[in-house]
Chains A and B, each alone.
Chain A
Amino acid sequence: MTTSTELVASVEIAHEARTERVPSGAADGAVLRVIPGDVVRVAALLGRDPKLAPAMAFGALAGGASLVALAGTHDGRTFVERAALLRDARPDLVVVLASDRRDADGLVELAEALRFGCAHQSPLPHILVAADERVRDRIAASCPTNTIEALPDVRTPAGREALVARLRAVRRRAQGDAVLRDEALEAAARAMAVDAKADVVVLDVTGGSTSVIHARPDGVVLGIHERLGVGAAADVVVARAGLDRVRRWIPRAVEAPALLERVFNRARWPDAIPASVLALTLEMALAREAIAHALADAERAGVPLEPMWAAPLVVLTGRLAQLPRAAQSLLVAIDVFGATGPTLVSRAPGDALVATGALAARGRVATLPTIDPIAIVAEMWPRRSAIVRVRDDKGVIEERVARGSFLLVPTKGVVEIVMPGATVRPRAEQLELGVVIDARGRPLALPPRDAERIPTLARWYAALDVLPAEVR
């Protein structure tokens, strides 16, 4: 974190095609800009240790970079195939990872393939080497025109932090004074966790990016950031997830080709607004898959997700927080984020939280904006039907919950939930919706056939009153 004495009058947050200023209106002084950052293409040259590839993926996720090529000393590719892979990948940065001295010859072979494939790329990719000094010297000899930098072992937190710092510097490129959106969100998550003295998870989905950030009250933050989104990166979500996985979340029959048309049009229409209910449900479906894939990628990269699932506070931002109904934001989040305990879900509409985070990321003290508590979500998977008691200012409501149940208990004032084997007293004073009891089980099982899937989805949507009346 850097500390600056420069006064900042306002924070300008870049979206797909527009910028929003916080506070709104003309700036009366210096403006701090928050940007999504350039796409950074990273290629990795890996030694034989199988832990290197997940560690590299973890680093790329944490730094918001795109891992475009992985070449290993034992991947079975020929010299020409490796060179073609690296040439087609057009990397901005090449990371060389090796923990074993026996990898030296193999890595030099990969470095030679890099020189053969990318010697005339403009600009030349910088090479970060996390390996023995002698290996670094040999790689420098193989790629004499590339800039070589040393990097700590990325399997360690210190090494990962160094890689993330480097990746973020490249993503800022010529805009060195700007704060990256994911950087701002991490700072905001840290501030919220310290303030609440509890673990906080921030889910941010924008047109071009998805972030899942876990902050602990001791200030430790773990963020994963991917180029998946509901706008400019909507087609990437479909390419990754497949159209059927996006379509399954829409509570009506939609032809796949027409849905793909909508996705492609949205991807090339910056900041388009979903004016129809169908477009809105598509945006919600894309957000679900974007979060689900970010989490799945994180899991594959060895990111520990259990502490995230157990976080008592979940805050939604970006497009996810700007859906017209709070129930829409809530349903998207709980469909894919499988919390293991009672969770208070809030949303921070607008850009105030990002602006606060940007100021915090620059070492300035800023008051956290108000976030709107939506609901307390109590997930359970009871062996047999059980009674859940919800107590609020109006009295006690008893609900019988069986497997598959999904219901909303509207509440007023301070809430207490008595579940089988646990009593929970969340801190929320006033919830926009109330308590959601979710006994659908995880992972969510959606029937493949429309005839069964649509009624199931319609029941979930109706339980939270998610959509306007005409499409129920």
Chain B
Amino acid sequence: MPWQYRRWTADHPLPLGASERAAEGQEIRAGDVLAAGTTYGTPVRISGARRLGVAPNDLARVLRVPVGGDVERRTVIARTGRRFARAVSSPIAGRVIHQRADGDLYVAPVVGRWVVRSTLDGEVTRSDEACVTVEGSAWALQGIAGYGPDAFGEIALAVDSPTDEVQPSRIDVRMRDRILIGGARATAESITRAHACGVAAVVAGASPAGGLRVVYGDAATASGATTGPDAPTVLCLIGFGVAPLPREVFAPLVALVGARAAVHTSTARLFVFAPENAGDFAQGAPSLALSDDWLGTRPMDEHLALAGVTRFASEIEADAVETRDGPVPVANVLAFDAPRTPRN
């Protein structure tokens, strides 16, 4: 089924330097801040346990500023003794970021701040320095590749039919903070215009691979691209180039216009926060066919019948299915929800 309502899990990896995080068990809504932190400049290593004359394991006992705590210049971080005191103070303003096994400490200046927001309505099931995981129920549509940061907003249509291409002229600032639903294609022009107009994300059947490289650089691959928070967000649902959306995918999107939604780019999922009974969205997965020259994909509305072993223009002989455009190799026909990554 392309659309599924069930309980989903979304991982949100954190950069270094988290200073606050949602607690496990906390209820959260998509778009809420899950964690916030700081980025660090060049750290300074300062002698800790050795200078104080304590064992490294005992350093925590004499710390006046715990690891993770903020310090000003000359702040005393640790101190021992009364009459003949020994102290360690910070040479710079910043944060105590790490204690080494030998008892030395690192203090780093704070040069920036970051926040990570939830892409699901639900409950925090894991929260540590590396990742915050949220589990919750939602309607979801699995795409094949997500580009850019996670995004949140209300669903809005940018096309009239599932075969249309998103036209830059249809995008303006009234679509700010919306998740735009494109049809068969979202070009680089429409993606950049949408981003300039404050659109949260563009979701389409396909996007030109060359256009994605223009927007995200040469590191963008068919599996997606992760970027900083200032890049546009794009979700390709079916493929690259041109890929009209099947009726079973597009019709629920039309019905869900105005609903709150989020794009989780690392898993290439569109989550829509609507009640389970919002509509009869959970329909069978339509078939998709890759064109013979791999330039695009199309939904197969017709009834598929096997055509037997067929010799194609490339002289490859393979089992084929009959379509109105001629035989297509069985291997080039997949269900919308079929796995699109190889098995190990």
Q: Which residues of A are interface residues toward B (Cβ below 8 A)?
A: 14-18, 35-39, 78-80, 83-84, 87, 108, 112, 115-122, 138, 141-142, 144, 175, 207-208, 231-232, 234-236, 239, 256-258, 260-280, 282, 324-325, 468, 470
Across the two chains, which residue of chain A brings its CB closest to B210?
A257
Q: Which residues of B are interface residues toward A (Cβ below 8 A)?
A: 15-16, 40-43, 45, 97-98, 100-102, 106, 108, 128-131, 144-145, 208-211, 213, 218-219, 221-223, 239-241, 290, 292-297, 312-318, 328-329, 331-332, 334, 338-344
- Chain B interface, >50% SS class: loop
- A228 nearest CB across to chain B (Å): 13
A265 touching B344, Cβ below 8 Å: no
A17 touching B342, Cβ below 8 Å: yes
A468 touching B314, Cβ below 8 Å: yes
- A94 nearest CB across to chain B (Å): 15
A17 touching B343, Cβ below 8 Å: yes
Across the two chains, which residue of chain A brings its CB closest to B214?
A257
Q: A17-B342, A275-B292 are in contact. Are A265 and B239 (CB under 8 A)?
A: yes
Of the candidates A16, A83, A269, A274, the one whose C-beta lies within 8 Å of that of B343 is A16
Q: A207-B342, A324-B315 are in contact. Are A260 and B209 (CB under 8 A)?
A: yes
B343 touching A265, Cβ below 8 Å: no
B219 touching A16, Cβ below 8 Å: no
Top 9 nearest A-B pairs (CB, nearest first) are: A257-B210, A120-B130, A267-B222, A275-B292, A324-B315, A261-B241, A16-B342, A275-B312, A280-B314
How many angstroms between the C-alpha atoms of A35 and B343 in the bound complex? 9
A270 touching B339, Cβ below 8 Å: yes
CB neighbours of A282 from chain B (8 A): 294
Q: A80-B16, A116-B97 are in contact. Are A270 and B342 (CB under 8 A)?
A: yes
- B129 nearest CB across to chain A (Å): 4
B329 touching A275, Cβ below 8 Å: yes
Task: Provide a sorted-by-A list of 23 A–B residue pairs whose CB atoms are within 8 angstroms.
Answer: A80-B42, A80-B97, A119-B130, A120-B128, A236-B221, A256-B210, A257-B209, A257-B211, A258-B241, A261-B240, A262-B294, A269-B294, A270-B339, A272-B332, A273-B332, A274-B294, A275-B313, A275-B332, A276-B292, A276-B313, A279-B314, A324-B314, A324-B315
A265 touching B129, Cβ below 8 Å: no
Chain B CB within 10 A, most for which of A116, A261, A275: A275
Of the candidates B98, B128, B334, B338, the one whose C-beta lies within 8 Å of that of A112 is B98
A280 touching B316, Cβ below 8 Å: yes
Across the two chains, which residue of chain B brings its CB closest to A232?
B342
How many angstroms between the C-alpha atoms of A141 and B56 in the bound complex? 11
Across the two chains, which residue of chain A brings its CB closest to B328?
A275
How many angstroms between the C-alpha atoms of A262 and B341 in the bound complex? 16
CB neighbours of A14 from chain B (8 A): 343-344
Of the candidates A38, A80, A256, A279, the one whose C-beta lies within 8 Å of that of B292 is A279
CB neighbours of B290 from chain A (8 A): 265, 269, 272
B293 touching A278, Cβ below 8 Å: yes
How many angstroms between the C-alpha atoms of A37 and B240 in the bound complex? 27
Across the two chains, which residue of chain B brings its CB closest to A142?
B101
CB neighbours of B130 from chain A (8 A): 87, 118-122
A36 touching B344, Cβ below 8 Å: yes
How many angstroms between the C-alpha atoms of A13 and B269 in the bound complex? 31
Can you add 6 more A-B contacts, CB < 8 Å, to A239-B221, A267-B222? Answer: A108-B100, A258-B241, A268-B145, A269-B290, A275-B312, A468-B314
Q: A258-B295, A272-B290 are in contact. Are A141 and B128 (CB under 8 A)?
A: no
Across the two chains, which residue of chain A brings its CB closest to B126?
A122
A119 touching B293, Cβ below 8 Å: no
- A150 nearest CB across to chain B (Å): 19
B16 touching A84, Cβ below 8 Å: yes
Across the two chains, which residue of chain B brings its CB closest to A90?
B13
- B97 nearest CB across to chain A (Å): 7
CB neighbours of B342 from chain A (8 A): 15-17, 36, 207-208, 231-232, 270
CB neighbours of B295 from chain A (8 A): 258, 261-262, 265
